[in-house]
Amino acid sequence: MVHQNENSSTGAAKATVTSDKVWFITGSSRGFGRVWAEAALKRGDKVAATARKLESIADLNEKYGANVLTLELDVTNPDQVKSAVEQAHAHFGRLDIVLNNAGYSLVGTIEESSADDVRAMYETNVFGPLAVIQAALPILRKQGYGHILGTSSNLGHVVLPVIGYYCSSKWAFEAIHESLALEVKSFGIKVTIIEPGAYATEFGSPESLKFAAGLDIYQDFKEEFFGGLRGMKRGDPNATPEAIFKIVDAENPPLRINLGSNNLPWVRTAYAERLASWEEWDAVSAAAQGTSK
């Protein structure tokens, strides 16, 4: 891997070659964050692994020694985010990959969920990643390279009932990262949005779900919805690291990448339906343009 480092005496960029990568990963205690952190370490990369509770990732120190730096991090605390990113950079000397993975889902219909519940989820799912990005960008710009990865979901393009606010956080997440990719390309910084489908991770655990206060009127609807989810085929999270490595090792990585075999058919159908509806109503839409003055 070629890195552009600034020559301190001339200010000119010079290339140095390194075979390993340095990762900064949020949400490393479980789920994809844990799987990808360990996979990166096993292949010889270095990882700054972060989690809200340091004890949840302490075993990584015993397993991987100097190749891992474990940091306590609540992504909803911008000062702690900035400190963690700076610590990781100071410890390893560079940051190649910044992976925003921390997040959780709010379970509740649009009517049931309180504004406070929605704000709290957005603090983690949207503003947390934003804090990480803003803390890392000055470092990546100075390096002249870097790759920002964001764990989104296939629900960044389609929606389900009962977790509509979670879906909305991923739609926001997608828009932020797509705009970011256009803004930082000239600095040598790459951006990729990772869009997993349903996987057998701990995402369904109490630590990854928060439930809104329920209304009886939706009880039957939610029971039917959860029954359908229980029958959904889930992928193996341990099958995903190779896909992630292909992305971070690619000279020209994609802006978006699906994980799993079920995403594309679902998204393709959803967009086909949207296009058909827009085209059906296009005459009404065009008439609303009015006449230019």
Assign 3-class secondary structure to 95-151: CCEEEECCCCEEECCCCCCCHHHHHHHHHHHHHHHHHHHHHHHHHHHHHCCEEEEEE
Is position 249 within any domain? yes
| pLDDT number for residue 12 | 33
Q: Is 63 a catalytic residue?
A: no
| pLDDT number for residue 16 | 39
28, 166, 190, 199: which is the annotated catalytic residue? 166
Is position 112 within any domain? yes
145, 170, 190, 199: which is the annotated catalytic residue? 170
- 117: domain CATH number is 3.40.50.720
Is position 292 within any domain? no
**What range does the domain containing 263 cover?**
2-287
Contact 182, 123 (CB under 8 A): no
Averages of pLDDT over each 10 residues, the chain, 293 residues: 43 46 96 95 97 95 96 97 98 98 93 96 97 98 97 93 96 97 98 90 60 91 85 85 96 95 92 97 95 78
Is position 153 within any domain? yes
- Quote the number of domains for the chain: 1
Q: Is 170 a catalytic residue?
A: yes
| pLDDT number for residue 10 | 32
**Rounded Cα–Cα distance for residues 70 and 54 (Å):** 7
Per the structure block, which two tokens stand in for 92? 């390893």
| pLDDT number for residue 192 | 98
Q: Is 11 left (phi over 0), alpha (psi -120 to 50) or beta?
A: left
Is position 293 within any domain? no
Q: Is 191 left (phi over 0), alpha (psi -120 to 50) or beta?
A: beta
90, 89, 1, 91: which is closest to 43 by C-alpha? Answer: 1
29, 105, 113, 152: which is the annotated catalytic residue? 152
Is position 160 within any domain? yes
Contact 6, 142 (CB under 8 A): yes
**Rounded Cα–Cα distance for residues 172 and 126 (Å):** 7
Tell the residue number behind the tokens 């970011």, with chain if given.
Answer: 180
| pLDDT number for residue 234 | 80
Q: Is 64 a catalytic residue?
A: no
Is position 192 within any domain? yes
Task: Give the SS3 label for residue 77.
Answer: coil
| pLDDT number for residue 268 | 95
